[in-house]
Structure formats: structure tokens, C-alpha cells
Structure 1
Amino acid sequence: MTPTSAASSRRGLWVSLAFCAALAAGAWAVISGTVEVPERFNPWAPLDVMAEPNWLTGFKLARARREPTRCLAALAQTGMQYDLMPDRMTGEGCGFENAVLLRSAGVRLGTAPSLSCPMALSFFMWETHALQPAAKQHFGEPVVAIAHLGSYACRNVNRGEGAVPGASRSRHATADAFDIASLTLAGGQRITVRKDWSGKGDPADLLLRDAHRGACRFFDGVLGPDYNAVHRDHFHLETGGYSMCR
């Protein structure tokens, strides 16, 4: 190495070290409160469920879902009505922890679903920040009811193959999944995944497409009619599994 290249390497090293030091100092200033950052732009601030989502929302939501106490604190902000459910095991790989019975969610849900706290929190974020804006954009009115096909169920993954020995448990088996079949608008129009996911580009199809796309922002896994025949009549929404948006 020539003296010139060695000097250049040393300068590069010092620049890198200085940058890392400045970054660490800035992070410490934010954490310690020396420098005040608006909560929506502070990655260490708790999730604000009512705030307009930004580039940090996914990070804050994921952190809230990982920590039971933080998740319940965020869920308490939503205004949804729910009952805390005792932890339970119902079979091998089946049962739930930190779950709620969701009695009211701003929209009618029919039978109250049993959902893990992460699922209930993600459902609120999706319904508030994706589904309702899409409904108002395409129809000028909100969704007032959601029909579902269930949440908690002690069963394996359903790929349309029947009972498969050794198949892995579905996220439904831990109350980490929710299947959405239809939406009802304030004016009474009912939009179903089976009939209205058509590809025609009409308002009902566009609403479902936007709802599906929006769900991918707030859930770990989203499956719809384009995934396989098993999902031709509903959206499968889940947390805690593999990242997928199909």
C-alpha cells in the first residue's frame, strides 16, 4: 500500500468512526430527552393508534405486538370494546395467550371473535387506516359491518388438501388469524370477496383490492382469492407467521 492510499484509508476510517459516534450521540440525546422529537417521528415513542401512519408506524406496531404489556396499552387507546381472556391451551399447538374477545370494533362483527392482542391491534389499524379510507374513496361512505368466517380454531393449515398428517398448525390455532368474507356499507350495499373480487375495476372490486393491499401494511400475512381456491371467498389475515402478501 502506498503512503497516499494508506492515508486515504485512515481518513476513511476516521470519517466512519466520527459518523458512528455522531449517530450514537444523536440516539442517546433522543432517548435521554435532551433533544425533543415529535412522537410520530420518534422511533422509541409508543404507537399512537390514531395518528396518520408514516414510515415508522410498521416498526412501532411490530414492537407493540411483541410485548404483551405494550400491546394491551396500545389496544386500550383504540376505543374498541373487548374482554380479556384467560390464557389457555386446548391441544397440541393450540391455545392462546394475551387474547381478547372483541365485542365491538367500530364496525359490527356479528359473532365476537377471539383474537390475540397483536391480531386485535392490527385489525384496528387496518380497519381505521386502510379499509375506511378506501370505502370513503370509492363509495363516499364508511363500512359499518364486517362478516367473518372465524378466528380461533384448533386446526392445521388448510391448503384444500383435506387432513394432511404432520401438517403445521394454522395461525388460527393460536388466535393469530381472522378471515374476512364481506363488508357492508352505511347505505346497505354488501360487498363480498367471493362475488366482487372480479378484476373488473368497478368500485366494489377496487375497494376490495385496496383493503387487501392495505392489510399487507398492518398484518404479517395476508392471503386472498388470487392465492388459491381455498381463499376464493375471504381474506385471511394473520400476525406472527411468515411475511406474505398474496
Structure 2
Amino acid sequence: MRLVLFVIALALALRAYEWVTHDYRMPWTPLSLAAPIGPFTTRKIDALADDTPLCHGLLEAASIGYSPLPPVSASPDCGYDNGVTLTRDQPQSIAYNPAAKTSCPMAVSLVLWEKQIVNAAAVRHLGTTVEQVVTFGSYSCRRIGNGKTGNYSEHAQANAIDIAAFRLADGRTVSVAGHWNANDERSRFLKEVRDGACELFATTLSPDYNKAHSDHLHFDQARRGGSRYCR
């Protein structure tokens, strides 16, 4: 009897060890682009800002086509040394127009957003998939709100992107400006991809935030220790 209890206890202990050491929800489990989004995903993405080889390795392990970008040093407040372009040459990938040139951690976030949020929401609400994301750009040496003074935007470090619209596989286009308040399946799709982005990006802003964002979704990875702001 003692031997049976010992074997059961050992099996339970081994199972618990496997869960603790490999479960994607644990803070020490390495980030994987194949794993679901977990409570510490944004913290793990934060860490990639200090480890570009690891960031590249994540994209390569997931067979995500990308090209490293030459470093840019426009000023003390503008530029990047870990930029990439997602080449989108793999099957069923979503293209960006214009091409998204972002920091590598932003690219990782976008891949997770596409794989786990965007197409699932498109199928659920629109009955099709997304072929292209139309953007207002990513890297831009400017201050927040294009002001003449104040803090520089995360765009100034290629650490942000503005999403304007989604072109679908069936030929339709769903735009933030045109359909956010449509009160139909298009607006439900847009709000679901915004809500999903809140799980991945440090800052997610939409038309619900202010008039300046009435025509786009703003995503960025401001390094805030895993904290998030979603509106």
C-alpha cells in the first residue's frame, strides 16, 4: 500500500513539476510564438528589447519571415538599433501596407496579434480572413501628438504602429474611420481586435480614447514593466 501511495505521489509531483516549469502562464517560461497569450506575455516581450538575438530567434523558430533593418540614429531621441521588417512571404501571413518597419519586440507582438486575435475575429464576425493591414506607418521621428514640445512618441524608436484598416480575403475593407461606430459585424470585429491588442501591447488607443485616434488604432510597447493601458 505504501508503495502504491509513493508511486501516485511521485507521478503527481512529476506532473506538477512539468506544469510549473513548462506552462506558458508561468513568468519564467520562455516566450513562444506558438503558445497562447498568458498573463506574463507583455513582460516577456519587454525583455526582448535588451536581447535582439533572442528576438530574432523567436521569429526564426516560428518560421516568420523577417529582414533586419540597418540601425537608424536620427537624433538622441529618434532612431533604433533593433528594427525589422516582416517580409510576409509565408503561407497565410498578413501583409502590411506600407510594410511595417518596427522594433523587433513590436514585430513579435504584431505576429502574436495576427496569429491569435485578428483572423479568429475576422472569421467569427465577418466570415473570412484578413489579407492586409493598412497602416499610417510605424517609425517616425516626432513628439506625441506631433507637438513642437513635450515627450517623444514611441514612434520615434520604431516602437509603435498605427492601424487604419483591414482588407479582407473576400475583397471588402473594414476601416477604423468608417466602421468603428457602425453597430454591426464590422464594428464588432474592430473592437475585438482592439481588445485583443490590449493583451499584447503596453498601450492600445482607439477612437474611444480621443478624437486624435478617430481613424486608427495605436499600438506601442512603451517599456512599463508589463503594465498596460487600453482605451
Same structural fold, with TM-score higher than 0.5 when normalized by the shorter chain: yes
1:150 corresponds to:
137
- 2:99 corresponds, among 90, 108, 112, to 112
1:46 counterpart = 2:33: no
Q: How does 1:1-246 map to 2 (within 5 A)?
A: 35-37=17-19, 39-41=22-24, 42-104=26-88, 106-158=93-145, 163-164=147-148, 166-198=149-181, 200=183, 202-241=184-223, 243-246=228-231
2:9 corresponds to:
none
Identity of aligned residues (%): 32
CA distance, structure 2, for counterparts of residue 140 and residue 97 of structure 1: 40
The answer to whether the 8 A contact 1:225-1:234 is kept is yes
Question: CA shift at 1:52, angstroms?
Answer: 2.7
Distance 1:150 1:92, change over 3 A: same
CA distance, structure 1, for counterparts of residue 38 and residue 147 of structure 2: 42
Superposed CA RMSD in Å reads 2.4
- Give the number of equivalent residue pairs: 210
The answer to whether the 8 A contact 1:149-1:181 is kept is yes
* Structure-1-length-normalised TM-score: 0.77
Question: CA shift at 1:75, angstroms?
Answer: 2.0
- Tell which deviates more after alignment, 74-83 or 178-187: 74-83
3-state SS of paired residue (1:101):
strand
3-state SS of paired residue (1:104):
coil
The answer to whether the 8 A contact 1:75-1:117 is kept is no
* Structure-2-length-normalised TM-score: 0.82
3-state SS of paired residue (1:182):
strand
CA distance, structure 2, for counterparts of residue 110 and residue 241 of structure 1: 26
CA distance, structure 2, for counterparts of residue 55 and residue 236 of structure 1: 21
The answer to whether the 8 A contact 1:85-1:99 is kept is yes
Structure 1 residues not aligned, in runs of 5+: 1-28
User: Which structure would you say has the larger RCO, counting Cα contacts within 8 Å and 6 or more residues apart?
Assistant: 2
CA distance, structure 2, for counterparts of residue 235 and residue 145 of structure 1: 15
3-state SS of paired residue (1:73):
helix
Decide which structure has the larger Cα Rg and report it: 1
